Structure 1
């Protein structure tokens, strides 16, 4: 058999292939193709077309198209100021570089508590503070004002303000681990000694009382503890109590902190706040001051969320109890008084739409108790039809129960409201979780499903909604609005900082969103503006959109 011999054609192909595989030929070929690409507009045209298509689908397209020349100019100015402050070493200054940044450098949109003082010195913050904000739709009633405003009032109740702790305060470790609770009680109440070995913290003990008079507690409190902050005018005991009520940077950002751990700190703070503001004189004062706080922040309408499972609050002497009806009357009286005060000054435009109340109760209660809560909400709505505006279930979503646990009660509530010609929309906390399993190990118990099926008007947080492409479309179809609370989500460990928050993605998905403070005092914010500023630093939020939000609040569209 004769061996294969190359034909002349194959010899030519082999020579050409050898020539093309040489480094010199590859270099020439690449250079020619790069030059051809440079001369061609194909890629640039396709890229431009892609950007045009996306630009025509952005969530705020209509607002941008309708923006006036002044609004466009204002948005551009704010953007330039923001970018200047990002590079300003006195504020942030952490720019991309191989150099290891010094301790004075911060990330814009980094840890909120670490950045708090710099945020408050920011021009963008000052601009945000002065801009109108149509409404504040997610704020818990007992955490609108900081503890340093409440503690001086507690001093005045020398005989009737009491405190208890969950352990005797003997060693430094006790001060770190103890929880504190306030309560107004009759002056005849026997005062315990929390600083004694014999102190019994059990509130159910028959022969002893765990309550110590606050005035005595302050006098006996040690003076050698160190605090993260020391507000002017507060003594050592008050500084210690304040740090129990507000989340500290050490607790939030500790490398050993867990999601459940920070929630425990949060709940302890909530319980401490409750006793400091839930008594007659401060309850009344609190409403006016809360409105003043909103006026300072240019908020024109608010919906506050009191936890109403406790049915009474005490009078200042601890001898009388004010039920829900009495509490709601106080709110109505104080709103009316503040409205008249603004009218007399010709300043009603500063808070033109007033405030309303969303009835809140925890998801952890048994079904029988939930039925009582639903009935109480209906009765309050009947008595105060213009005040009660919704019903909410609250609590850490990684703990039982999920909303569906109460489905029959909630459906029955809706039918009862319809029969009685009442409008009490659901505004559940839902999606404020990473697990998103409704306090179980079953993903199908996500509260986001039940919030949809029960026709919520809005949901609180909605952080985990992006896990559910179907629900995103359903929420859009039902016009369910998300009450986003970015700073709250950071401090409770849903995200590491504001830049990691899914707010831009939720907007891009076409969902209705509002920005909210949630629990400003627990999060060391004396202002509701922080949420606006932090988001402004993280997403391009057109200045003209804020004006649209103000108009929507006035028209009742949210």
Structure 2
């Protein structure tokens, strides 16, 4: 006969009460076990070394930064207890970068990120440091700057859809009308003339379409929130849009006078961003850029000499002002080639890299293969050529380590049908010093161990990964997992000029440090410190330079911590956290 329901309820209640008494009598208590487990895990934390040698002022500054972050996080809806839909001015901590950017720059945590000494910037494409607004303004004064289009520009639809490219050309270049139905965009065939003078183009464009040509071109180069996050946007679509932007950008930078100016401007931008050293990635498939008159050619060696001269000039200015420690080691260059070229062409690229290294031994520091990884070819396609490159370097007693883009993908198949062609395998087999992005490494538990064994560093580029659709926002990024797995990482901005939206100033690495701080509650000031120290440790500086860089950085970091305490200490003390 079934028991009454009330009897079962009483049995359950009595059993629970007995269980509660036993739980309360257990020694040690559950809370002690939990705390012990937490501390056991914390002992293996990736930032433990930074914590262990933290000064008193750093410990105080870390608590202040934590309180400010948590206060801004708690108030990011504008009201701690509100479930109301946030307004357009509301800061979304760790939300979409472009949507949130102008709100980020009104926060205390952002001002702290700007002041933080960053160390080295190890993943920066050469043409993407200075905002395009400035380059477009510079192009106004270049009489022989020309533009071409992929289609005649006849309608508003053409204005929206066409891709444009710039180039400095000889003054006597035959000019055509991009606004004519007869315009032929062909440029590869001998005798093709698809070019229109930029100074002539601008007023006609304004008259025909009622908008400023310079603003239109800037929008062609920079990803907008709609283009990055639009509901119908795809991964292939945003990559195609990004590649269009880089092609448009290229001609505005690659000519004699602006190339020389750009180097000093890039250094000024980095100093403002608290970056003390950088390794630049120029695409060197084009073997020359034109001189400012469009007649001459500046080959790779000419470009490298200009870079050395302009860095030296800037450092002399800093030295005279007693500020050389702001940028004491200049630049180094990572030679980049696209992974889409035929093998014979890759052989020539690798030989050109060696040739430049022999001529500029202190400047050329690495070799990289670049391009979207969901398209051919994977790195292993060039295995024979890359191994020959290694052997040639050994015979010549030179060092050109690989710094591959690898794992910048969700498919992780190297542009093939199988994940066996993941570029991460090649990064291990070819003994890469660092890799760019490494987003998909967490899918490979064995490769994680190989990365740790070989001490391969990952150049994190969080905003780039978001805008190119590897994740929707920084809170979905894998960097906390990579760090927790014990992989050394650095923080970088990749292509900041194309990824920052409308912006006339550069704080690109500051944005990245801000993002990693708000993207994970496990990040803290000690973590910032470790990331900056790794940027020096895994750089291509020599041992003496690394030691000097760390000495300068630690001095600046201590001063930064004092500034945090002096500026925000009383404010943090007043927060109810």
Given the two structures, how large is their TM-score scaled by the length of structure 1?
0.91
Cα deviation 1:307-334 (Å, max 9, x = unaligned): 0000000011101011001000000000
Aligned residue number for residue 53 of structure 1? 40
- How many Å apart are 1:206 and its aligned residue? 5.4
Say which of 53, 58, 63 aligns to 2:50: 63
Structure-2 residue corresponding to 1:153: 138
Matches within 5 A, 1:306-325: 306-325=282-301
Partner Cα distance (2:191, 2:5) in 1: 102
- Specify the alignment match of 1:532 in structure 2: 513
Greater CA deviation, 97-106 or 493-502?
A: 97-106
> Do residues 118 (structure 1) and 103 (structure 2) align?
yes
Output one character per residue of 1:365-404: Cα deviation in whole Å (capped at 9) or x when no partner.
0000000000000000000000000000000000000000
Higher mean alpha-carbon deviation, 204-213 vs 500-509, is at: 204-213
Query: Are positions 1:165 and 2:149 aligned together?
Result: yes
Separation in 1 of the partners of 2:84 and 2:523? 31
What's the CA shift for 1:295?
0.3
Q: Are residues 104 and 136 of structure 1, via their aligned partners in 2, closer, same or farther at CA, if it must alter by over 3 Å?
A: same
Give me the TM-score of the superposition, normalised by structure 2.
Answer: 0.88
Give the Cα–Cα distance (whole angstroms) in 2 for the partners of residues 104 and 298 of structure 1.
28
* Counterpart pick for 2:170 among 154, 175, 186: 186
Q: Say whether the 8 Å CA contact 1:19–1:25 is kept in structure 2.
A: no
| Counterpart selection for 1:375 from 328, 334, 351 | 351
Q: Verify the 8 A CA contact 1:280 1:313 in the aligned structure 2.
A: yes
Gaps in structure 1 of 5+ consecutive residues:
1-13, 227-234
- Residues 249-306 of structure 1 show CA distances to partners (whole Å, capped at 9, x for unaligned) of 1111111111011000000111111100000000000000000011001101100000
- Aligned equivalents of 1:59 and 1:452: distance in 2? 21
Which residue of the other structure, out of 429, 432, 441, is the alignment partner of 2:405?
A: 429
Bigger Rg, structure 1 or 2: 1
CA distance in 2, matches of 1:205, 1:406: 30
Checking the alignment, whether the CA contact within 8 Å between 1:180 and 1:272 is kept in structure 2 is: yes
Equivalent position to 1:326, from 302, 306, 328: 302
Q: Write the distance in 2 (CA, Å) between the matches of 1:148 and 1:257.
A: 25
Structure 1 position 546, deviation (Å): 4.4
**Secondary structure of residue in 2 paired with 1:301:** strand
1:201 aligns with 2:201: no
Match of 2:119 among 125, 128, 134: 134
Q: Displacement, 1:83? A: 1.5
- Alignment correspondent of 2:262: 286
- The equivalent residue for 1:455 is 431
The 1:474/1:318 distance shift into structure 2, 3 A limit, reads same
Contact 2:66–2:524 (CA<8 Å) still a contact in 1?
Answer: no
Tell me how far 1:18 sits from its aligned partner.
7.9
The answer to whether the aligner puts 1:555 opposite 2:546 as a matched pair is yes
User: Is 1:37 equivalent to 2:23 in the alignment?
Assistant: yes
Offset, 1:96: 7.7
**Residues 134, 546 of structure 1: 8 Å contact kept:** no
User: C-alpha distance in 2, partners of 1:224/1:85?
Assistant: 47
What is the CA distance between 1:20 and its match in structure 2? 9.7
Gaps of 5+ in 2: 540-544, 551-577
Distance 2:79 2:166 in 1: 43
Cα 1:95–1:412 shift into 2, 3 Å: farther
